[in-house]
């Protein structure tokens, strides 16, 4: 293992350099980050680190908006910057991986839920909080339809006309929901 793995710029907050020597001609503004400074009890090795990240990235299908938009060398670079920025214990790293996967499963559940709430055809992707609020209002409205035995289509039309009063305390309580429902094909 080399003496140090990263160089950090002292004049630019977010810049690191991989390797055993500072970038040419810029030595005055670069400081070495030693492996020991990242992992105090240095005999820790992560032979499967790259593999684990690859597995996670492969299974994760991350949102494209969260990906680093850059070429391969920059992505590799960002990976090392990511590693450099955090002092690791294997347990902490494993916990982070589990947490990321857990959040991904929650997000996929949100995607499923988004597919079940009424939206305008041209509407952009609902946020998580709006998805929850709309789902709550939608369930309440469907419940009203069931308990009153109303015809769904005419019930929605009535709500569009008179306002939906069955559900209190909801941000999506009236026209927001019923306007979306007006796009639903009931037949």
Partner DNA sequence: TAGGCCATCTGGTCCT
Partner DNA sequence: AGGACCAGATGGCCTA
Residues forming contacts to DNA in the complex (CB under 7 A) are 14, 60, 62-63, 65-66, 68-69, 82, 86-87, 91-92, 94-100, 102-104, 107, 125, 127-130
Q: How far is the CB of 2 from DNA (least distance, A)?
A: 22
Q: Which is nearer to DNA, 2 or 69 (CB)?
A: 69
Q: Which is nearer to DNA, 76 or 95 (CB)?
A: 95
Task: Say how many residues make up the chain.
Answer: 187
Nearest to residue 116, comparing CAs of 180, 187, 174, 163?
180
Which contiguous run of DSSP H or E holds residue 6? strand 4-9
Q: How far is the CB of 99 from DNA (least distance, A)?
A: 4
Q: How far is the CB of 76 from DNA (least distance, A)?
A: 15
Q: How far is the CB of 38 from DNA (least distance, A)?
A: 10
The first and second tokens of residue 95, run together, are 């916990």
DSSP code at position 170: -
Which contiguous run of DSSP H or E holds residue 144? helix 128-148
The first and second tokens of residue 165, run together, are 């009063």
Q: Which is nearer to DNA, 78 or 144 (CB)?
A: 78
């Amino acid at each position: 293992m080399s003496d140090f793995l990263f160089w950090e710029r002292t004049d630019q907050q977010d810049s690191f350099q991989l390797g055993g020597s500072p970038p040419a001609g810029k030595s005055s503004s670069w400081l070495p980050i030693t492996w020991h400074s990242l992992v105090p009890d240095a005999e820790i090795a992560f032979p499967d680190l790259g593999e684990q990240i690859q597995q996670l990235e492969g299974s994760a299908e991350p949102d494209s908006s969260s990906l680093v938009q850059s070429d391969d060398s920059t992505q590799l670079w960002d990976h090392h910057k990511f590693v450099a920025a955090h002092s690791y214990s294997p347990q902490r790293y494993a916990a982070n991986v589990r947490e990321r996967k857990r959040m991904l499963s929650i997000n996929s559940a949100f995607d499923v839920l988004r597919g079940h709430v009424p939206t305008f055809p041209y509407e952009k992707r609902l946020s998580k909080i709006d998805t929850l609020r709309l789902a709550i209002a939608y369930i309440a409205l469907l419940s009203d339809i069931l308990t009153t035995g109303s015809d769904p289509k005419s019930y929605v039309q009535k709500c569009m006309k008179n306002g939906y009063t069955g559900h209190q305390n909801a941000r999506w309580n009236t026209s927001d929901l019923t306007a979306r429902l007006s796009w639903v094909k009931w037949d």
